[in-house]
Amino acid sequence: MEPGEIPGSSKYSLFVSEGDSQAMFKKAQIDALFGELDQQWRGKPEFEKLSRDIHLGIALSDAGREFDKIDARAVALIQKHKPKG
């Protein structure tokens, strides 16, 4: 077994083929997203939960996964700021 290999999996199963790749969030998009979150929600009780959901949502988006169990307000901000393509 090689370093990083998962027992029982294909050696190459962790890699995404070029045809499946999508644009990942860039720093400027993340800054704009969190700037808007801060402007709209800072000081409100929901701020911390929305912040956590957005962090998770960005990771899920970059991985091409669905937004299961993420607040709809966080999803809306992610969709607004997500990379095109």
In a domain, residue 19? The reply is: no
- The total domain count for the chain is 1
Residue numbers of the domain that contains 55: 24-81
Place of tokens 């790749």: 21
In a domain, residue 40? The reply is: yes
In a domain, residue 47? The reply is: yes
Contacts of 85 (CB under 8 A, 6+ apart): 22, 23
Q: Write down the H helix ranges in the chain.
A: 27-41, 47-62, 72-81
19: confidence class by pLDDT, cuts 50, 70, 90: very low
The per-residue pLDDT for range 20-48, each reduced to its tens digit, is: 456 899 999 999 999 999 999 999 999 99
In a domain, residue 64? The reply is: yes
The per-residue pLDDT for range 52-84, each reduced to its tens digit, is: 999 999 999 999 999 989 999 999 999 999 988
In a domain, residue 37? The reply is: yes
